[in-house]
Amino acid sequence: LGGCGARGKMSGGDAKKLVRSPSGLRMVPEHRAARSPFGLDEPPWVPDKECPRCMQCDTKFDFITRKHHCRRCGKCFCDKCCSKKVPLPRMCFVDPVRQCAECALVSQKESEFYDKQLKVLMNGATFFVTLGTSDKSELMVCRLSNNQRYLVLDGDSHYEIEIIQISAVQILTEGFTPGGGNTRAIGMILQYKVPGSEEVMQMKFTAGEDFSCNKKLSTAWLAAMHKVSK
């Protein structure tokens, strides 16, 4: 796999700090360069003077009907339309925060991704990795780095691919039938840009057939990678 172009080093500065914003307490990386590629910035709040009515139900605000800002979209709502407090890991909030119904639904789906898929990716799985059109492959443990910024490949060689450089993920399956039978993920083709150039590299990941005890783990890892690509 020599010369695959998977350059760049993982940042050693993964330290975090607690910050307080109008939206709540957040545990964020000390250095912006160490931020997760899945993170979101806090949105600016719609100024109070620009929202005399709820931006969902059009109820007029007064001394009784108070206005609340959704922590995800920054829009202004009445309590009825913005009553849910939901975890928002993409913004690193320590506790669940107030969100409108639409944003709460999105955040709930993302929380499942953070709780399940990301953990699977960080735990890693074993694959045969082939570079480009080469006929040689190397057995490697593939995992997502703890700061979620790099795909790390460890075998006789060691490579790190920055997640934001990945341009395409194609999951390879078997077992498909014209009648819509069940399929099983057996590998993937990954395309990524080489930092500092427009060159696009390709890697193929294949689950080893002689590692039956790891098949379930590999399949779960590939399914999680598919979620990441979305």
Per residue in 32-41, pLDDT tens?
Answer: 777 888 889 9
CB atoms within 10 A of CB 57: 10
Residue type, 228: V
pLDDT at 12 over 80: no
pLDDT band at 75 (very low <50, low <70, confident <90, very high): very high
Residue type, 39: G
Least confident span in 5-14, 133-142, 180-189, 205-214: 5-14
**Domain extents in the chain:** 16-117, 124-176+184-229
* CB 134, CB 2: distance < 8 Å: no
Average pLDDT over residues 72-95: 94
CA distance 197 to 158: 21
Pure H helices in 47-141: 101-112, 118-123
User: Cα–Cα–Cα angle for 213, 218, 219, nearest 5°?
Assistant: 110
Percent of the chain residues topping a pLDDT of 90 = 50
Q: Which residues of 150-176 are buried (b: 16+ CB within 10 A; e: fewer)?
A: bbbbebeeebbbbbebbeebebbeeee
CATH number for the segment(s) 124-176+184-229 = 2.30.29.160
Assign 3-state DSSP to the chain and report helix, strand, coil percentages, each to 5: 25, 35, 45
Q: Say which residue, 30 or 160, is predicted with more confidence.
A: 160
Which distant-in-sequence residues (6+ apart) come within 8 Å of 175 by Cβ?
A: 181, 182, 183, 184
CATH number for the segment(s) 16-117 = 3.30.40.10
Which two three-digit tokens encode residue 34?
A: 């160490």
Mean pLDDT of the chain: 85
Asked, colleague to colleague, whether 16-117 and 124-176+184-229 share their fold, the answer is: no
Question: What is the value of pTM for the model shown?
Answer: 0.73
Give pLDDT tens digits for 123-154: 999 999 998 888 899 999 999 998 889 999 99
